[in-house]
Structure 1
Amino acid sequence: MSSSYTFPVGISSQWADPNHLTIPNPCLKDWLLDTDSLTEKLQSACTSFHLTLLGQRQAPITLEEFQQVCSTQQQLNLKEWQVREVILWGDNQPWVFARSIIPQRLCENDFMNLNTQPLGQLIFNDKRFKRMPFEVTNMSASKAFLAQLHISSEMHLWGRRSAFTFDDLKMTVSEVFLPSSPVYREMK
């Protein structure tokens, strides 16, 4: 497990409504569209689970990411957002790369000192968070994306993203299932 990751990594992909993509098998569909905590689902699929925090700070976000979290007439101001990127590991294999766009107000209050605590543990234990519908992607991961995560693979990767509302705030969580993830076991 190398700690020389480059932050931010980012996710360069097109996202779509799940009904507009053909998801090739039921197991993959279940992983992509399960509305429960992904962290808990991953933990139940392995004997050892941990999270590597790649970084969390104010960092550039894409216009598309901003459109996912902004309110009407809001201007892009990077000081209002933090980017958090992590790798979720199961049995010492990198299973998921996650990128979250979090309002600064949440980082200063409810999400202070997250460090290596999974974001999902907070979101799914707090009824104030409401999940919006999923979007999914089937991405041909670029060599640059995989190299930043120290992964070598030619396979297409699946991912999911959803926004969460919290009072008048919105945040997004995007998750890309990496090649060693249990998502792909039935597809190999």
Structure 2
Amino acid sequence: MNSSYTFPVGIPSLWADPEQFTIPSACLKNWLLNTGSLTERLQSQCQSFHLTLLGQRQSEITLEEFQRVRNPQQQLNPQEWQVREVLLWGDNQPWVFARSIIPQKLCESDFVNLNTKPLGQLIFNDKRFKRLPFELTTMCSSKAFLSQLHISSEMNLWGRRSAFSFEGLKMTVSEVFLPHSPAYKEMKIDNHE
């Protein structure tokens, strides 16, 4: 765990169906709605890639997050979930903040000793994981969120979230594209014209 970051950070934003949003560039839309492995795509965009584990442990999850991972009749019990938060870096720039809500049962079986391994490497190489439809978010005032990650910017950020079903269990993976992410490449060009 990286002690220079506060854990958990959380994602202080509301999520909705992609149709509810006007995404400002085709490049960003492609990054938000691409169903392949984000980890592999990021790796293809840089010379050096690494992951910083901000933390992973049993922790409170929001009621809204619980609605995405619960099974019928399941009660909100923090012991049944682990929160995992990471930063994904490309060429020494933080590109993506990811927050996952993982069933404790998975942490004790398929995800033992995950540490700094990207979650995507396990999910996308295992046919038992089925991705459910995306939800998106946009953070108009991201300054407080970014300051927790030691990033200074007031840029509007975009994120995506999807639940994965796995043998009767569900987990969520939420990803926020940070200011230096290649997802915003077109928008930076547009801003300088």
**Do both share a fold (TM > 0.5)?**
yes
Distance in 1, Cα, partners of 2:161 & 2:81 = 17
Spell out structure 1 runs of 4+ moving beyond 3 A: none
Distance in 1, Cα, partners of 2:66 & 2:137 = 18
Percent identical pairs in the alignment equals: 79
**Residue in structure 1 matched with residue 134 of structure 2 by the alignment:** 134
Is this contact kept in 1: 2:96–2:175, CA < 8 A?
A: yes
Q: How does 1:33-112 map to 2 (within 5 A)?
A: 33-112=33-112
1:141, distance to aligned residue in structure 2 (A): 4.0
Superposition CA RMSD, Å:
1.0
1:15, distance to aligned residue in structure 2 (A): 0.6
1:20, distance to aligned residue in structure 2 (A): 1.1
**Residue in structure 2 matched with residue 20 of structure 1 by the alignment:** 20
1:25, distance to aligned residue in structure 2 (A): 1.3
Distance in 2, Cα, partners of 1:70 & 1:41 = 30
**Residue in structure 2 matched with residue 11 of structure 1 by the alignment:** 11
Whether 2:177 is the aligned partner of 1:177: answer yes
Q: 1:61 to 1:95 in 2, by over 3 A?
A: same
Distance in 1, Cα, partners of 2:69 & 2:164 = 9
Distance in 2, Cα, partners of 1:142 & 1:159 = 12
**Residue in structure 1 matched with residue 191 of structure 2 by the alignment:** none
Q: 3-state DSSP class of the match of 1:161? A: strand
Q: 1:40 to 1:141 in 2, by over 3 A?
A: farther
Deviations 1:127-164 (A, max 9, x none): 00000000001112443311110000011000000000
Structure 2 unpaired stretches of 5+: 189-193
1:3, distance to aligned residue in structure 2 (A): 5.0
TM superposition score normalised by structure 2: 0.95
Is this contact kept in 1: 2:142–2:156, CA < 8 A?
A: no
Distance in 2, Cα, partners of 1:52 & 1:72 = 34
Structure 1 unpaired stretches of 5+: none
**Residue in structure 2 matched with residue 154 of structure 1 by the alignment:** 154
